[in-house]
Amino acid sequence: MSAMMSDSELRVERRSGASSTTPVDTDRISDLQDSVKRIEDMLEKQTLSPKKPGHGHEGVVDVVLGAQWGDEGKGKLVDILSQNYNICARVAGGSNAGHTIVVGDKTFKFHLLPSGMLHPGTMGVIGNGVVVHIPTLLKEMKSLEEAGIDFEGRLKISDRAHIVFDFHQQVDGVQEGNLGRNKIGTTKKGIGPAYSSKIVRNGVRIGDLRFFDDFKERFRALVEHAERAHGNSLHVDVEKEIGYYASVRELIVNMTADTIALTNTAFDSGKRILVEGANATMLDIDFGTYPYVTSSNPSVGSVCTGLGVPPNKISNIFGTVKSYCTRVGEGPFPTETLGETGDTLRKNGGEFGTTTGRPRRCGWLDIPQMRYSTLVNGYSVLNLTKLDVLTGMEEVQIGVAYKFEGKCLESMPSSLNVLKNVQVEYEVLAGWEEDISDCKEWDDLPTNAQVYVRRVEELLGVYIRWIGVGQDRLAVIDRYDRYTGSP
């Protein structure tokens, strides 16, 4: 053996089991050492200078989330932004979501389709985390066609997304009715029962339609399980249902794709992806006011689990918050304002559910709730909507602290017994009379409106980039000149 052999080569020789009489391939060892050195250098660079998504040739994944109890105006921001993105994706929930977009004299109401579908250069993706009621989806598609929106080839549905069947909606209604006084306030769109089927592992997925014999077998087994569980309160015409899905199968299969591969490949090739959140953080199954919540995770984690992109690909998280606060359905609502003020907010804000038509409960902006939402989601910036609704009020209040049994709470309580009994401390600010619906720039806003926005920023420690001043899609002030992020 050559006396020139290094210690590292000797170690390699011994680990490989070579005897003293076996010649050593020094060129091979040298190549291995070079490879190890390159890997070490690469790891050192990644540790010292981690790559930020959106730089170089990589794409962008930006996220629009609801920061309160829903109905904050996420769809409007998505509509504004999506023209600058290649893909607009839904990642959680189902037809229980409702996003309204006003374009001139036309009003579009989205429940399953991504709002970005209104832009001809944007592809819509329904991710694996969404539960899809196919009749509702087809109805929405038809409404777009009737409005002259050409989306042929621009909608892709995950083959891993689960199907909401009509009987899931029946079950939803039965379960809600059985709760009596303790009802949740569900939309009865079958979302919870569909996610239950998914978790029990007997659900049926969009991709199952490709192999229709398997689809029929799985559907029959699912119905049998549901009828056993609910007895005489549920009966499903299995053959009728199978006939319906046979009639729409080809249409759905042609839109079905591996959206995990699609979105990640798009990102790697430099494409821009916008995720449209549904529902909101305070309705999150884990972080919300359980059990008065939805059955999915409308917080930032759903981007990874519901679209299949890793967290290091996420660039910006845009939280959407009303200038006041609303809630639909049951559950605690600390800043709820009853009487004349609540009625004024409801009337001026048009606070009636897009999906159910139910009047929304109204109240003042809740800072402890928003701090919690910010903690969970890590918002890059905020989109403050419906500032115009506060116009004409002599004074505007902001809930700034919770007290329980005389002590200030430092975090959002998980116990509803605590949350429903908190005392809210308010700050009172002067209102404004000026009409702000035509304001285009920050400096156009009345001084008192500016004071309100700045105070919210100060209390939350998050910059407010967008300010909604009216219903139209263009009635938004963009403070981009004061912001260094993207897009």
**Sequence-distant (≥ 6) Cβ neighbours of residue 270 within 8 angstroms:** 57, 58, 59
Tell me if 99 is assigned to a ligand binding site. Answer: yes
Q: Is 73 labeled as ligand-binding?
A: yes
Is residue 98 marked as binding? yes
Tell me: is residue 17 an annotated ligand-binding position. Answer: no
337 is in an annotated binding site: no
Q: CB–CB of 178/132 below 8 Å?
A: no
Answer yes or no: are the C-beta atoms of 275 and 307 closer than 8 Å. Answer: yes
Torsion angle of alpha carbons 436, 438, 441, 446, nearest 10°? -20
**Alpha-helical regions (H) of 57-211:** 74-82, 134-146, 166-178, 191-200
Identity of the amino acid at 219: F
Q: Do the annotations mark residue 388 as ligand-binding?
A: yes
CA distances from 81 to 58, 215, 237, 275, 298 (A): 19, 38, 44, 11, 20
What is the rounded distance in angstroms from the CA atom of residue 213 to the CA atom of residue 329?
Answer: 40
97 labeled part of a ligand binding site: yes
Confirm if 99 and 78 have CB atoms less than 8 A apart. yes
Q: Report whether 70 belongs to an annotated binding site.
A: yes
Q: Is 356 annotated as a binding residue?
A: yes
Q: Say if residue 127 carries a ligand binding annotation.
A: no
386 is in an annotated binding site: yes
How many residues comprise the chain?
A: 487
User: Is 100 labeled as ligand-binding?
Assistant: yes
Residue 455 CB partners (closer than 8 Å, separation 6+): 398, 427, 429
Is 353 marked as binding a ligand? Answer: no
207 is in an annotated binding site: no
Does 216 appear as a known binding residue? no
Residues 321 and 382: beta-carbon distance below 8 Å: yes
CA–CA gap between residue 251 and residue 16 (Å, rounded): 58
What span, in angstroms and rounded, lies between the C-alpha atoms of 368 and 419? 11
74 annotated as a binding-site residue: yes
Q: Residue type at 476?
A: V
294 is in an annotated binding site: yes
Q: Is 96 annotated as belonging to a binding site?
A: yes
Which residues are marked as active site? 71, 99, 198
Q: Cβ distance 106 to 149 under 8 Å?
A: no
Residues annotated within the binding site for IMP are 71-74, 96-99, 187, 201, 279, 294, 358
Binding site per annotation, positions: 70-76, 96-100, 187, 201, 279, 294, 354-360, 386-388, 468-470
* Residues placed in the known binding site for GTP: 70-76, 98-100, 360, 386-388, 468-470
What are the binding residues for Mg(2+)?
A: 71, 98
Residue ranges at the known binding site for substrate: 354-360
